[in-house]
Structure 1
């Protein structure tokens, strides 16, 4: 099977907007990106992962794409723009694909438009329904980069931008594309926050994955983009596994059957054994059922060879459709030359682990190891599961 290289990264997250800044905050367990908001859920303060950077303005000739979601995406896109321009001259615009994952797209613009209509009786002049369509960000990026290859969106809730790696791998292996830009973007909006609040799934404070006291998630926002090509580079896409357990409309299978299938498929795709994984970025949402399922699935697959692991959602929030890409970016940085000592992000919380579930070996502050293979898990509503393995190119 063709080797797939991950050559460049662009990112915009609550932990920062440069690789150096994000890695530093990740390894320190810095929670400064988590902020209290009182304007998202009526009569309720909620802690969210928020990007506070000054975002780039979307040019006038792209005004039909103007939304915060696309501003987050543009901030990440500008960081890989030079590489995309070089690829256009090398491969041609029709040989470069784009696959993104999202859950919210520009829904916040629709919310603002409805609020305007309530006050003025008409929708604002700049309102376009297309801004909140799920394919809007992918369409924007294709126009921005002036590309003509395959371009589509994956929207499978929390596994969306993890599954894009599998889609890109198929396009590259089939010879349809010579480069694929993958990633995801999601932005904070009232629809999402109130939806999860109605499900009683929003934490009252900082989320605490795998704690006996966990009470729900912190929603986040952000964007991450990668360029994938055939060949070798410092960081490689080693393997991807996808599954759907279809157990329930929202709850995962309690024993993690779908998660197990995705993890085992990723290991098989990478052609490695479970004991070769050095660190796992957990899905770790801090909901009762997800954490119970994920711990059971990992215990079943890895047995006595469980590697160190942690959930990074207490640092950045759960970015839903963009979570897979943002956490893939974390994995990319952990494997990069920037992380010279092989440090791993610590597991935050009260450390009162839920004894009803298998105990996992969580990363503590300043722990490090030799990192060759890293796994990132993304498990979504309805049992849509994805497990992605990244590795160094010089193993």
Structure 2
């Protein structure tokens, strides 16, 4: 596919706001997980929580979208020069030629939870949300996209992607197709997901949540640590001979093996990775870093590792960074794409935090320690419930 330039990118996680907070924590192997202190009856687990959201109300003009998820979206959107870079894109192409494609898993469901918890009988005796939460848009999956469209003033195609944990990886693919088809000239992509009871208790009900900080690919791993995050990237068609960070390929698959479990042979993961490499015109041996989905659950990690070992040479540096941020669900795709982009920019290839005993069922590509070396290609894997899989290939170099 024709290269697509990344004009700016940012992530806000439990590690802090903006890409330098992410880069410094990764290099220092300083994690952001903490004992769960979210909600009135916290589960005994560890979480990746973004500081300060409780005191970061939206500007008054956006009061109709007020909720935790949109607060984090607004905070993340202000980082790393994104507003200025977006203004430049709009100036070049016009607001109707810039798409907005964002991913989320639970959107603003935390506001809906609060509405049910505070519901009171109305005049007809039927329980109703309190007046301050009778704002229909925040109780829909499109709350995030609608808020960002109003916050940015973009008038191009606007879509909210909700494919569980692959949501904000698939936004890159959707935006790339819009650009390649000539529908738009640029796109703001990203994703946001925040902590809420449905996420914490829902994943716990599936038996997937660890009581300890998650240990991806460790022989004794026993579950994930949940987190919240937001991030964005600005994409634009690359000019001939242009240098800089680029999206070079994407691969998607929907194996639909099971509602929540991956295909036992990693069929969907393998299809997505192979498709991304083929679209990028890149051989597996050319990839220097792969950010794995790596949730720290026993089955998922082993299946992904087997798919990676079947495709890549032993020299690949592959790792999961969820030990730093927690599993940020619908925001995982953008957060871990940013980490892959930082690996290209800085040459710091993160290992795996909290893990110390390699699982013999996982291949030699899985690296626990950080490495420092220049690379030309980096990938990100994001796999969602129902077999919604996406792999992305990023490059540092000259446009083809």
**TM-score, reference length from structure 1:** 0.94
Structure 1: tracts of 5 or more residues without a match: none
Counting only pairs closer than 5 Å after superposition, residues 1-395 of structure 1 correspond to structure 2 as 1-31=1-31, 33-40=32-39, 42=41, 44-53=43-52, 56-79=56-79, 80-117=82-119, 122-127=128-133, 128-231=135-238, 232-302=242-312, 304-336=313-345, 339=346, 342-365=347-370, 367-394=371-398
Deviation at 1:89, TM superposition (A): 2.1
Q: Distance in 2 between matches of 1:267 and 1:130?
A: 38
Deviation at 1:38, TM superposition (A): 4.5
Deviation at 1:56, TM superposition (A): 4.4
Q: Distance in 2 between matches of 1:40 and 1:360?
A: 38
Q: Distance in 2 between matches of 1:102 and 1:5?
A: 23
Q: Distance in 2 between matches of 1:157 and 1:84?
A: 27
Deviation at 1:67, TM superposition (A): 1.0
Query: Is the 1:28–1:345 Cα contact (8 Å) retained in structure 2?
Result: no
Q: Distance in 2 between matches of 1:176 and 1:248?
A: 35
Change beyond 3 A, Cα 1:251–1:41: farther
Deviation at 1:217, TM superposition (A): 0.6
Instruction: Please state whether the residue corresponding to 2:300 is helix, strand or coil.
Output: helix
Instruction: Please state whether the residue corresponding to 1:393 is helix, strand or coil.
Output: strand
Change beyond 3 A, Cα 1:41–1:243: farther
Q: Distance in 2 between matches of 1:119 and 1:291?
A: 47
Deviation at 1:43, TM superposition (A): 6.3
Query: Is the 2:217–2:302 Cα contact (8 Å) retained in structure 1?
Result: yes
Change beyond 3 A, Cα 1:158–1:41: farther
Q: Distance in 2 between matches of 1:330 and 1:119?
A: 48
Query: Is the 1:275–1:305 Cα contact (8 Å) retained in structure 2?
Result: no
Q: Distance in 2 between matches of 1:18 and 1:77?
A: 9
Deviation at 1:40, TM superposition (A): 4.1
Q: Deviations over 1:326-356 (max 9, x none)?
A: 11111122222xx2xx221121234222223
Change beyond 3 A, Cα 1:229–1:249: same
Structure 1 stretch displaced more, 345-354 or 72-81: 345-354
Instruction: Please state whether the residue corresponding to 2:131 is helix, strand or coil.
Output: coil
Change beyond 3 A, Cα 1:170–1:216: same
Deviation at 1:122, TM superposition (A): 4.7
Deviation at 1:252, TM superposition (A): 0.4
Q: Distance in 2 between matches of 1:38 and 1:81?
A: 32
Change beyond 3 A, Cα 1:388–1:178: same
Change beyond 3 A, Cα 1:286–1:370: same
Q: What root-mean-square deviation, in Å, do the aligned CA atoms of Structure 1 and Structure 2 show?
A: 1.9
Deviation at 1:261, TM superposition (A): 0.5
Change beyond 3 A, Cα 1:175–1:68: same
Deviation at 1:10, TM superposition (A): 2.9
Q: Distance in 2 between matches of 1:41 and 1:58?
A: 24
Q: Distance in 2 between matches of 1:233 and 1:131?
A: 40
**TM-score, reference length from structure 2:** 0.92
